[in-house]
Amino acid sequence: MASELRLGVNVDHVATIRNARGGGLPDPVRAAKAAAAAGADSIVAHLREDRRHISDDDLIRLLDAIEIPLTLEMAATDEMLGIALRHAPHAVCIVPERREEQTTEGGLDVVSGHNHLKRFVDDLGERGAIVSMFIEPDRAQLDASRSIGAPAVEIHVGAYCDALIDGKEYEADCLLDRIVDAAEYGTKIGLKMHAGHGITFDTVGPVAAIPQIEELNIGHFLIGEAIFDGLHSSIKRMRGLMDKARSNAIDEAIV
> Do 9 and 204 touch, CB atoms closer than 8 A?
no
**Under the criterion CB under 6 A, does residue 97 sit at the interface with ligand PXP?**
no
46 is catalytic: yes
* Residue closer to ligand PXP (CB basis): 46 or 87: 46
Is the CA virtual torsion 208, 209, 210, 212 positive or negative? Answer: positive
Catalytic residue among 87, 197, 215, 225: 197
**Under the criterion CB under 6 A, does residue 112 sit at the interface with ligand PXP?**
no
Task: Give the 3-state secondary structure of 21-82.
Answer: HCCCCCCHHHHHHHHHHHCCCEEEEECCCCCCCCCHHHHHHHHHHCCCCEEEEECCCHHHHH
**Under the criterion CB under 6 A, does residue 199 sit at the interface with ligand PXP?**
yes
Q: Which of 221, 226, 235, 249 binds ligand PXP (CB under 6 A)?
A: 221
Site pattern 49..88 for ligand PXP (x: CB under 6 A): ------------------------x---------------
Listed ranges 56-64, 111-119, 170-178, 216-224: which one lies at the site for ligand PXP (CB under 6 A) = 216-224
> Do 108 and 74 touch, CB atoms closer than 8 A?
no
Reported as type and span, the H/E element at residue 10 is: strand 6-10
Instruction: Tell me how far apart the alpha carbons of residues 148 and 172 are, in angstroms, rounded to a whole number.
Output: 31
232 is catalytic: no
Q: Which residues contact 162 (CB under 8 A, 6 or more apart)?
A: 198
Q: Which of 197, 204, 209, 215 binds ligand PXP (CB under 6 A)?
A: 197
Residues in contact with ligand PXP by the rule CB under 6 A: 10, 12, 46, 73, 93, 95, 103-104, 134, 154, 196-199, 217-221
Active site members = 46, 73, 197
